[in-house]
Structure 1
């Protein structure tokens, strides 16, 4: 075989693969960290390169054509091989230098990671750390991140996970809001109180109901999934929020609502990495420091 006659652009093939798996250009662009027009050009260029139509477009959905179905398994195998190559290369690195990507929820990314990163930069200035602050679960198998802080145990067999600690969240409110509500001695006193909820209000309502709070959707005048927006709204006295003790107790503007009660929720904190990446000294250093700092911060909250 004359290898010089073969030309292939893996970037375009990857765009095809992720679009097929995600089902739309917008979702694939988010997964790859690209703009939708850029991804669309890569898919179109791949179709032109192969001389076939790979997708039919139905609204926002991208469905594979017959030609796309014939190719997808081959490209998926190529993607697995490319990931294996990248993981193996990263795992063999003994230098404490280079890229390490960490993903965590927005609260953990903003409040727990900064002091860890500051110390890591002092000890290993060759590290380049990317922080992805997101409440979505990132895919470590695709190398969207090297290390993930998660609150559910991963199920993929190629991932290694360590249970660091358990975190706990209570209700917090501004002192001004508590003063407006009057004496609060039990959950029944909060039946008319305003809460700041997530988009998935039913889940939050069910959680609060299990703790004895008799609430309805009317108790949630404002909804947002962004914890920092929740925090700012609570500071303005708009409503109550659920927050971990290490964060809520440290804020002088807030008071813990019903401090003598059990926490609203107790949840695990897992530190996760791919098994091969975990062999890299630079990833191992970040992983171990995160484990130490998370446990210290949460347990002293």
Structure 2
């Protein structure tokens, strides 16, 4: 690559295409459009004068040249990510931008009042909110902090368990008026259910209780929790929702309190190198204190 005016974005796109095997998968993972990724791959191939991918009906097939370059490209990305983490961690000011990764349902309902209080307590901090149900990669600085329902396994990440979210069986008053209120768990078999699509945790729960899963009636199946919650509010069926959602929505009622649903943990995670940053530490500590209060409805 002598005398090449090198564009770092080309390496990022190359690695994404290599990992996911298609422009569609790479675009979904990176947030970069498919046409842009395609241009990046074509430009990198032109600069290197190498064919990196064979275009097939099933996506992209890496050539031996691509596989040969993969390790060096990954090392470049790891080095750039470490450089970014160290640079962010070196600051000792409470002014700046912080990328926070949360799920859709947390971003829409739990987090906004917390961000109002953070704005008052840390007025010079700007939050860049990464809203995704996939786990953002803190190691590569896709986010600085993350609120997640799973504990990260990487040793270079610092995770603190800051709360838990009970799940409740619930339905809107309008649905219950039309269809009656189930009083015992087996009666759910006669009701329309709002559940996941690829996520089959609800069906697995019914199976564990000995209910015939094939006989379940579905009002809606979707893995989007915002869509599930909207469907429950609209009266489409019985849902299994985060408890804090019901507090502000009197038209949705908890039912069947004898059913014990899983309690979801909430983990606040940061890369350990960022804990040396006064800015990151301040935001981490604020969220660690405020999220449990919000879950317990201590702010009213």
What's the counterpart of residue 289 of structure 1? 286
**Displacement of 1:211 after TM fit?**
4.9
| 8 A Cα contact 2:103 2:132, kept in partner | yes
After TM superposition, the score normalised by the length of structure 1 is: 0.91
Figure out how many residues of one structure are paired with residues of the other and give that number.
297
Query: In terms of mean alpha carbon deviation, does 200-209 or 276-285 score higher?
Result: 200-209
Q: Deviations over 1:22-55 (max 9, x none)?
A: 2221222233221110111111111111110111
| 8 A Cα contact 2:53 2:60, kept in partner | yes
What's the counterpart of residue 98 of structure 1? 96
Superposed, 1:115-264 pairs within 5 Å as: 115-200=113-198, 202-211=200-209, 215-216=213-214, 218-259=216-257, 261-264=258-261
**Displacement of 1:124 after TM fit?**
2.8
Q: Deviations over 1:55-97 (max 9, x none)?
A: 1122242221111111111111111111111111111111212
| 8 A Cα contact 1:187 1:213, kept in partner | no
Query: In terms of mean alpha carbon deviation, does 188-197 or 277-286 score higher?
Result: 277-286
| 8 A Cα contact 2:110 2:244, kept in partner | no
CA RMSD of aligned residues (A): 2.0
4+ residue segments displaced more than 4 Å: 211-215
| 8 A Cα contact 1:18 1:28, kept in partner | yes
**Displacement of 1:141 after TM fit?**
1.4
Check 1:284–1:212 CA distance in 2 against 1; reply closer, same or farther (3 A cut).
farther
Where does structure 1 lack aligned partners over 5 or more consecutive residues?
Answer: none
